[in-house]
Amino acid sequence: MRLINHVRFNNLRGDLFGGVTTAIVSLPLALTFGVASGAGPAAGLYGAVLVGFFAALFGGTSTLISEPTGPMTVIMTAVVTAMVAANPEYGLAMAFTVVMIAGLFQILFGLLRLGKYITLMPYSVISGFMSGIGLILIILQLAPLMGQPIPPGGVVGTLRSLPALLSNIQPAEAFLGLMTLAILFLFPKRLRRYAPPQLVVLVLGTLIALLFFADRDLRQIGAIPVGLPAINWPTFTPELVTTMILDGLILGMLGCIDTMLTAMIADSLTRSEHKSDKELIGQGIGNLMSGLFGGLPGAGATMGTVVNIQSGARTPLAGMIRASLLLVVVLGAARLTEQIPLAVLAGIALYVGFNILDWSLLKRAHRVSWQTAAIMYGVMLLTVFVDLIVAVGVGIFIANILTIERLSALQAQHVKAISDADDAVPLSDEERDLLNRGDGRVLLFYLSGPMIFGVSRAVARQHAAIGEYEAAVIDLSNVPLIDDTISLAIENAIKDAVDAGSEVFIVSPAEQPRRQLSRLEIFALIPPDHLMHDRAEALRRAVGRLATRQPLTIAA
């Protein structure tokens, strides 16, 4: 696997324009997410620089823009809150250590080549937890929007404090926050290609605050350290190490999902194909470096990536230029952001949360199916009020169970047990003639398609009367795959037939079923010459055996 991303210089103008444009888009979001997370605006800037640069340099997607995102910020907010509450002195350092752990998990996922499996989950689950994260971001910004700090207790604490928040609302800050939302929602689409609305509202909101509310005690970003960040060495405590590892796993998994979804969008826009495992390694290195220098975790950002591509970027050079421009802000221009009102940043964050909501499925889920709607809304509520991992785990479990049930019902239609010619089973003229010559004393046990555990009941139901026939042909000629459960069900069918004195022939030309049955020593139950590759030959042998056997007495 190539370590460095394939940086090219054949699209320098487009990459330069893409890098400059995305840097302008990223600046207000980096400040917003830094403040929203509780780690501070500098952490947002450091995360945008470090994750963006190293993910572009070592990643596997040419046009991906990586930076702190809404979903990652929501989880980081919970991590910062929990770590600081548990250890006020070193809690923030421990939160950044969690970011490093997340990066290490992502590198591990990439080395284990798990990239292609990251997004193999039902869309109803992805939609539910992304919408849940959007709701969390919206709810957590209600207090800053009204000019007050976020109450303790996260989402539940904020909802419980709503009456107090409303009674103590700060009119000037509420005005700035609502004005921010109004501009973002009403900003003309034709102007968005020329000026990012987040940057416009950031500048406009700050100017209005300075001109009209200079005498008010507005909550502002405050001083941001100028210069390179200090190294934040990994910090652990024995009682919190397990919690930190679990938080790192959650953060890493969410970053992987967020990135892979964005990478697929980039592929569709550029008609290219990303390298998922390499991208996970690049994201992991970016998050590892970000945590080491006190930055927020990041992932592939959909908005930044789309803007990058639309600006003409086609190589990772654009992402590296963007990170370098943001580094200039960190090194020299950070003091220009000190007087930005927190209410304006809260409005921007709330707008981001609104856009994270999957409105497309939220409006139509009930039309798709009640199962889809139930899974999506269930995952969303669990994400908001319980836990992200619980939400995703429960959602995937239920969705997979429902999917297996539907597939099993369809696959059960391909399990047939017949003793005369049946149009439901594709037989040649010779095979039909042989089965009819069996005169109801030969059973053809026909299976078709992949056979997994969900079909075991259908197999058991069909083979129940197999011992009532003098010969049975178990036909696996159209079965490309068989699992342990079905293998054992076939073993039971063979044992029932042998115990009843029936001759059993197995037709299994495909390699995987033969290997699976051989591994379980099922072929030892029949004579070696009863394992065949051709169904017609098996029927011919079965019918030929009837002449040497006495008819069985079949119970009424």
Question: What's the predicted TM-score (pTM) here?
Answer: 0.77
Give the integer Cα–Cα distance in Å for 48 and 44.
Answer: 6
Is pLDDT above 70 for 491? yes
Residues of the chain with CATH 3.30.750.24: 413-546
CB-based burial, 514-533: b 16+ in 10 Å, e otherwise:
bebbeeeebbebbeeebbbe
Beta carbons within 10 angstroms of residue 325's beta carbon: 17
Give the integer Cα–Cα distance in Å for 123 and 126.
Answer: 5
Crossing angle for the helix pair 91-111 and 70-86, to the nearest 10 degrees: 130
Contact 60, 106 (CB under 8 A): no
Is pLDDT above 80 for 549? no
Question: Residue range 492-514: average pLDDT?
Answer: 87
For residue 421, what pLDDT is reported? 63
Residue 2, C-beta contacts closer than 8 angstroms, at least 6 positions apart:
278
Is pLDDT above 70 for 423? no
Give the integer Cα–Cα distance in Å for 2 and 401.
Answer: 39
Beta carbons within 10 angstroms of residue 546's beta carbon: 17
For residue 555, what pLDDT is reported? 38
Is pLDDT above 70 for 374? yes
Give whole-number Cα distances, 396 to 125, 161, 223, 401, in Å: 7, 33, 44, 8
Is pLDDT above 90 for 181? yes
Q: What is the pLDDT of residues 72-89, one digit of tens each?
A: 998 999 899 999 999 999
For residue 393, what pLDDT is reported? 82
For residue 109, what pLDDT is reported? 95
**Choices 1.10.3720.10, 3.30.750.24, 3.40.605.10, 3.40.1210.10: CATH for 413-546:** 3.30.750.24
For 122-164, give the secondary structure using H, E and C.
Answer: CHHHHHHHHHHHHHHHHHHCHHHHCCCCCCCCHHHHHHHCHHH
For residue 1, what pLDDT is reported? 55
Most confident segment among 187-196, 388-397, 524-533: 524-533
Residue 63, classed as helix, strand or coil, is coil
Is pLDDT above 90 for 321? yes
DSSP state of 472: E
pLDDT band at 135 (very low <50, low <70, confident <90, very high): very high
